[in-house]
């Protein structure tokens, strides 16, 4: 069946997001280009079949976002990534990753090297042709990463001063003994933020458990746990259904499943469920936050980090209304200011902080 002519790759008009597609498969590039052609705010401005071509094309075609395949001849995506970031400072790169152990491992290497996000390459052709969630996820990620560029210019004339973000180190740690568990929710940009926080835990013996829900598919969350364990020097692993929660350990919600907490007598346990997605996500932050509030009452500290959408906002409000402490990452240090904005808009955050200050606060609280 003919797919028809590929969408135009001419430079986009003002006010649209210009995207470069880099994949050695012309069929994949064509399918992704057709998906993006359905979104008026996005224009495919350039295409390349390997990393070397992509770097060369950036010299003559300005783009905002690059969708970069990992496995390619001549120059693969991981090798090309530093050259792309150097060629256009501030450019956002989304890695197109396979759902394999190797694909996940290389994706994390790319995130540590400066890629903004990733998207799993679907195995079914129907997904790649725009019939499933791949289309929504890809378009949302591109728009989310380019959100700052799409904002309308500020109106002429005086405007009220924006609230100043809290300065690093200004948040006062909770009093000793007032917090029994730390919970963190994150999405786009989350792995990088979590690695930054994990390095600040090095050398500590946390007196409480740490639970993390990061929006990720299966396979990826296990590797995320390995990287957090390496960065923090603490035991970190995917949560297991029925597992007793212990101080000093880090539990990661397994990809594709929700991670909750149950209280049984004096102890708390991990509960893994296949309940329907919330906020289009599974695992989702809100159900974890709600269950932790029920199990621990007021002795909860919750952090909402960078990410698209609003996951964590409603659950964070439940924690705060139950007497716990809710914090959100500030806009300036977020890759995407969606989830933290939802938490901030509840009006219940104890503080809204830059990422370095969040790491310092966590270290002082759990150490």
- Active site positions, annotated: 187, 215, 311
Of 6, 65, 357, nearest in space to 197 by CA: 357
| Secondary structure (DSSP) of 103-160 | HHHHHHHHHHTT--EEEEPPSSHHIIIIISHHHHHHHHHHHHHTHHHHSPPPPSS--P
Beta bridge partners of 22: 48, 68
Of the candidates 80, 78, 92, the one whose C-alpha atom is nearest the C-alpha of residue 48 is 80
Residue partners of 210: CB distance under 8 A and separation at least 6: 181, 182, 183, 184, 249, 250, 251, 366
The DSSP annotation for 165-224 comes to PPPTT-SPPPPTTS--EEEEEE-TTHHHHHHHHHHTTTT---SS-EEEEE---TTHHHHH
- Rg for the chain (alpha carbons), in Å? 21
Distance (Å, whole) CA 316 – CA 285: 9
Beta bridge partners of 152: none
CA distance 93 to 74: 19
Angle between helices 220-232 and 101-112 (to 10 degrees): 50
Half-sphere exposure of 44 (CA within 13 A, CB side): 21
């Amino acid at each position: 069946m003919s797919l028809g002519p590929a969408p135009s790759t001419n430079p986009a008009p003002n006010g649209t997001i210009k995207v470069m597609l880099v994949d050695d498969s012309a069929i994949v590039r064509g399918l992704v280009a057709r998906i993006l052609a359905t979104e008026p705010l996005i224009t495919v401005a350039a295409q390349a079949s390997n990393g070397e071509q992509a770097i060369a094309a950036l010299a003559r075609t300005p783009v905002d976002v690059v969708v970069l395949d990992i496995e390619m001849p001549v120059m693969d995506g991981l090798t090309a990534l530093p050259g792309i970031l150097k060629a256009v400072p501030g450019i956002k790169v989304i890695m197109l990753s396979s759902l394999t152990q190797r694909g996940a491992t290389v994706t994390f290497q790319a995130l540590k090297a400066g890629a903004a996000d990733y998207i799993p390459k679907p195995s079914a052709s129907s997904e790649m042709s725009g019939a499933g969630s791949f289309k929504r996820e890809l378009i949302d990620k591109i728009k989310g990463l380019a959100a700052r560029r799409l904002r309308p210019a500020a109106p002429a004339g005086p405007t009220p001063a924006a609230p100043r973000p809290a300065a690093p180190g200004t948040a006062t740690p909770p009093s000793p003994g007032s917090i029994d568990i730390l919970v963190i929710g994150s999405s786009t940009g989350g792995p990088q933020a979590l690695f930054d926080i994990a390095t600040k835990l090095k050398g500590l013996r946390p007196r409480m458990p740490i639970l993390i829900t990061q929006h990720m598919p299966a396979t990826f969350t296990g590797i995320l746990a390995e990287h957090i364990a390496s960065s923090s020097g603490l035991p970190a692993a995917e949560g297991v259904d029925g597992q007793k929660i212990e101080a000093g350990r880090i539990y990661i919600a397994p990809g594709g499943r929700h991670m909750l907490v149950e209280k049984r007598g004096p102890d708390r346990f991990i509960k893994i469920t296949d309940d329907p997605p919330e906020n289009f996500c599974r695992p989702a932050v809100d159900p974890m936050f709600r269950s932790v509030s029920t199990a621990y009452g007021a002795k909860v500290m919750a952090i909402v980090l960078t990410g698209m959408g609003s996951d964590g906002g409603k659950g964070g409000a439940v924690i705060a209304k139950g007497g716990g402490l809710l914090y959100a990452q500030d806009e300036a240090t977020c890759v995407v200011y969606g989830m933290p904005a939802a938490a901030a808009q509840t009006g219940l955050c104890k503080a809204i902080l830059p990422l370095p200050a969040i790491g310092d606060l966590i270290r002082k609280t759990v150490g």
